[in-house]
């Protein structure tokens, strides 16, 4: 311990927002270098290597092969796939001294497709699954929560190549099983949920979520208590329990609604429910205005909206923009009168509305008793709410927060087709590879383990990914008897292959115990006064359990636990 490159802090850092971030800094695992960019100090490096090794073992067992691709990538390949323009600002672009455009790899679909092309030439060579551990750089708009959402981070990314959708689906299942084992071995229970495919592309995808109660989980996961439906909120669907809503207005009337600012105000003013009001919300999607009509008690899910429009960038319109495009103040607009002038989308939640209320496109006025024309098309672009019904079995859905530690995608030919990466099939025909891709956030997984396993005193590492299995603490290093027992225990553990630290510092016992808890060694063997009776104290970090044992028994206990890994 006197040599270990670690500096624990008395207090939590000021700028940390997640528990894992606070603890990693305070316990001396990471050091921030720039926004969203960290150094992994020796303790952290040991943790990351363990997560990596578990991942490697399980993937190799599942038949995948490891390679290593470059961090810096040529624009040329991204232009070929069509993503150079499509990826947005997360892609950090640069030029070299010859004015050649390059980028820092945020993901490696283009590179792997380029590699496969020319090597995997025949159907006889397929399927193949290749993976790497590599740094990624994404100029995230909101890097936060320390390692949970960095700009630079370590990912395991894997890619598979197939001749048929069936073969892809088999490998997808194979990877799903491997992922479950990987996270289990890391001490993390995960839920596999349906998700949106985002910038990676493809149709079918799932995320592996560590469910958390804290706000640190960045995703909401909706799940059914009765069947196994579960999905990220950006891809969750539901049946509304109150699908049909009929407002008490039997003919269309313009109503004066002064000082009514919100949907809630309007519902109260007219003495109706919020689900009797058709709300208008304006977005700017790829610099163009889009008006969304949605039931008053529902909210827009921006990813779903973006997908419905095949857009890339989305934000809410400002009041000034609303005025610019409609000549109106927000609060009183509606689709009536704006048709043909601006893109309008109707959310599915509105489908069952009758005699409803909308803005009159006139300040301080609404229209009651409106009904839709027959030819209106509805798309599902709303956020699911807890209590709405499962789309599979119609039972109520629940919601929880989650941290996405991994995901799997069925890409199909999204990259092979534009990049002209072909193999020849049985009939000598050129065909694009059918591809899958599979990611695990190595740094995020380690941080998620802390989110799940910690207490007021510090980190509680699952044994499999702890930087060391055990710490040996002589209470008073000046006491010859204590010192001798501590060194004996330490040497015996080393001999048996246990990863162990001896706290040989001159500090008070209290300081050493505090550090041991903070750093999160799974086992602590303490040599104090009882060494004179031939006994040491054995403490289990996760349960707080303390046993008094002979030094040999304490050593054996650690050895037993480690051998179960
Ligand atoms: P997210 O929705 O959280 O941004 P993503 O869908 O962009 O993730 P992928 O591109 O598929 O994720 O990356 C695979 C894995 O890499 C994710 O499951 C996650 O564990 C990890 N990951 C992605 N972005 C980050 C980040 N900014 N910091 C740390 N890990 C990340
Ligand atoms: Mg992302």
If residue 519 lies in a helix (H) or strand (E), which one and from where to where?
A: helix 509-519
State residue 216's pLDDT score. 72
CA-proximal residue: ligand 1, atom 28 (nearest): 149
| 123: helix, strand or coil | helix
Residue to mutate (ligand 1; options 234, 444, 448; most atoms within 8 A of CB) = 444
Write the DSSP string, 147-173. GGB-SEEEEEEEEEEESSHHHHHHHHH
Strand partners, 548: 537
Report the C-alpha gap between 313 and 564 in whole angstroms.
49
Torsion-angle region of residue 28: left (phi > 0), alpha (psi -120 to 50) or beta?
left
Q: Count Cβ atoms within 10 A of the Cβ of residue 563 and give its class: 0-12 exposed, 13-18 middle, 19 or more buried.
A: exposed
| Residue-level length of the chain | 565
Q: Are strands 397-412 and 434-441 parallel, antiparallel or unpaired?
A: antiparallel
Q: What is the mean pLDDT of each run of 10 residues along the chain (565 residues)?
A: 96 92 98 97 98 98 98 98 92 98 98 97 98 97 94 98 98 98 97 81 87 80 93 94 94 92 94 96 95 97 93 91 86 87 95 96 93 93 96 94 96 97 97 98 98 97 98 97 98 98 96 98 97 98 98 98 96
Distance of CA 5 to the CA centre of its chain: 30
Q: Are strands 470-474 and 500-502 parallel, antiparallel or unpaired?
A: parallel
Ligand 1 atom with the smallest distance to the CA of 407 is: 18
DSSP 34: E
**Ligand 1 centroid vs 144 CA: distance in angstroms?**
13
Q: Count Cβ atoms within 10 A of the Cβ of residue 223 and give its class: 0-12 exposed, 13-18 middle, 19 or more buried.
A: buried
Paired tokens of 1: 């311990």
State residue 271's pLDDT score. 95
Paired tokens of 403: 């941290």
Give Dmax over CA atoms of the chain in angstroms.
Answer: 95
170 within 8 A of 66, measured Cβ to Cβ = no
**Ligand 1 centroid vs 441 CA: distance in angstroms?**
6
Ligand 1 atom with the smallest distance to the CA of 106 is: 10
If one counts every other C-beta atom within 10 angstroms of the C-beta of residue 565, the result is 12
CA-proximal residue: ligand 1, atom 22 (nearest): 441
CA-proximal residue: ligand 1, atom 16 (nearest): 441
If residue 511 lies in a helix (H) or strand (E), which one and from where to where?
A: helix 509-519
Report the C-alpha gap between 143 and 136 in whole angstroms.
14
Residues with Cβ < 8 Å from 254, sequence gap 6 or more?
Answer: 360, 362, 365, 366, 367
- Reduced 3-state DSSP string for 31-76: EEEECCEEEECHHHHHHHHHHHHHHHHHHHHCCCEECCCCCEEEHH
Q: Count Cβ atoms within 10 A of the Cβ of residue 210 and give its class: 0-12 exposed, 13-18 middle, 19 or more buried.
A: buried
CA-proximal residue: ligand 1, atom 23 (nearest): 441
b/e string for 116-141 if b means 16 or more Cβ within 10 A? bbeebeebeebbbbbbbbbebbbbbe
State residue 532's pLDDT score. 96
Report the C-alpha gap between 348 and 321 in whole angstroms.
26
Residue to mutate (ligand 1; options 153, 404, 411; most atoms within 8 A of CB) = 404
State residue 167's pLDDT score. 98
CA-proximal residue: ligand 1, atom 13 (nearest): 439
Torsion-angle region of residue 266: left (phi > 0), alpha (psi -120 to 50) or beta?
alpha
Report the C-alpha gap between 241 and 430 in whole angstroms.
51
Ligand 1-lining residues (CB < 6 angstroms): 107, 138, 140, 149-150, 153, 155, 198, 200, 404-407, 439, 441, 443-444
Strand partners, 536: 549
CA-proximal residue: ligand 1, atom 14 (nearest): 439
Report the C-alpha gap between 276 and 318 in whole angstroms.
25
State residue 330's pLDDT score. 80
Residue to mutate (ligand 1; options 205, 407, 409; most atoms within 8 A of CB) = 407
**Ligand 1 centroid vs 203 CA: distance in angstroms?**
18
b/e string for 153-172 if b means 16 or more Cβ within 10 A? bbbbbbbbbbbeeebbeebb
Torsion-angle region of residue 247: left (phi > 0), alpha (psi -120 to 50) or beta?
beta
State residue 198's pLDDT score. 67
70 within 8 A of 105, measured Cβ to Cβ = yes
Counting ligands in written order, the one closest to the CA of 150 is: 1
Paired tokens of 379: 């798309």
Residues with Cβ < 8 Å from 187, sequence gap 6 or more?
Answer: 449, 452, 453, 461, 462, 463, 464, 465
CA-proximal residue: ligand 1, atom 26 (nearest): 149
Ordered strands of the 253-256 beta sheet:
253-256, 365-370, 356-359
Ligand 1 atom with the smallest distance to the CA of 218 is: 3
| 26: helix, strand or coil | helix
State residue 110's pLDDT score. 98
Q: Count Cβ atoms within 10 A of the Cβ of residue 521 and give its class: 0-12 exposed, 13-18 middle, 19 or more buried.
A: buried
State residue 214's pLDDT score. 73
């Amino acid at each position: 311990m006197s040599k270990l490159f670690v500096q624990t802090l008395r207090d939590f850092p000021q700028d940390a927002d997640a528990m894992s971030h606070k603890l990693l800094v305070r316990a001396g695992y990471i050091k921030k270098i720039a926004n969203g960019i960290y150094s992994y100090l020796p303790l952290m490096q040991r943790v990351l290597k363990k997560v990596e090794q578990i991942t490697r073992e399980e993937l190799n067992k599942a038949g995948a092969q490891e390679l290593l691709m470059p961090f810096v990538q040529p624009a040329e390949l991204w232009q070929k796939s069509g993503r150079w323009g499509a990826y947005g600002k997360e892609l950090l672009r640069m030029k070299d001294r010859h004015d050649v455009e390059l980028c820092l790899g945020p993901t490696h679909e283009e590179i792997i497709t380029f590699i496969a092309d020319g090597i995997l030439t025949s159907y006889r060579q397929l399927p193949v699954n290749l993976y790497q551990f590599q740094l990624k750089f994404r100029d995230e708009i909101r890097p936060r929560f320390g390692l949970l959402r960095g700009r630079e981070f370590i990912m395991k990314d894997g890619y598979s190549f197939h001749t048929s959708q069936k073969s892809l689906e088999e490998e997808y299942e194979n990877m799903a099983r491997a992922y479950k084992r990987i996270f289990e071995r890391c001490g993390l229970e995960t839920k596999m949920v349906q998700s949106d495919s985002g910038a990676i592309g493809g149709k079918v995808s799932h995320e592996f979520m560590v469910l958390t109660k804290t706000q640190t989980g960045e995703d909401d996961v909706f799940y059914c208590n009765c069947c196994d439906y579960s999905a990220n909120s950006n891809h969750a669907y539901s049946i509304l329990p109150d699908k049909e809503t009929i407002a008490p207005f039997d003919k269309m009337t313009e109503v004066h609604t002064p000082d009514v600012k919100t949907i809630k105000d309007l519902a109260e003013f007219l003495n109706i429910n919020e689900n009797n009001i058709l709300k208008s919300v304006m977005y700017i999607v790829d610099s163009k205005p889009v008006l969304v009509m949605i039931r008053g008690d529902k909210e827009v899910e921006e990813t779903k909206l973006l997908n419905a429009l095949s857009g890339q960038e989305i934000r809410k319109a400002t009041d000034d923009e609303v005025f610019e495009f409609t000549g109106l103040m927000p609060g009183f607009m509606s689709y009536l009168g704006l048709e043909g002038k601006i893109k309008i989308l109707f959310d599915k939640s509105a489908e069952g509305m009758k005699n409803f209320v909308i803005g009159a496109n006139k300040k301080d006025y609404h229209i009651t008793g409106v009904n839709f024309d027959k030819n209106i098309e509805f798309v599902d672009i709303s956020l699911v709410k807890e209590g709405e019904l499962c789309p599979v079995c119609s039972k109520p859905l629940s919601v929880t927060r989650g941290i996405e530690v991994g995901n799997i995608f069925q890409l199909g030919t999204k990259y092979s087709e534009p990049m002209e990466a072909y193999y020849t099939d049985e009939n000598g025909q050129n065909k694009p590879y059918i591809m899958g891709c599979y990611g695990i956030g190595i740094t995020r997984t380690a941080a998620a383990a802390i989110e799940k396993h910690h207490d007021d005193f510090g980190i509680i590492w699952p044994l499999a990914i702890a930087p060391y299995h055990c710490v040996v603490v002589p209470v008073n290093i000046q006491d010859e008897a204590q010192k001798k027992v501590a060194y004996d225990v330490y040497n015996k553990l080393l001999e048996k292959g246990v990863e162990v630290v001896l706290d040989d510092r001159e500090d008070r016992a209290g300081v050493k115990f505090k550090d041991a808890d903070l750093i999160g060694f799974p086992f602590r063997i303490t040599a104090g006064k009882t060494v004179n009776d031939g006994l040491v104290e054995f403490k289990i970090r996760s349960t707080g359990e303390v046993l008094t044992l002979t030094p040999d028994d304490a050593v054996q206990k650690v050895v037993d636990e480690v051998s179960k890994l």
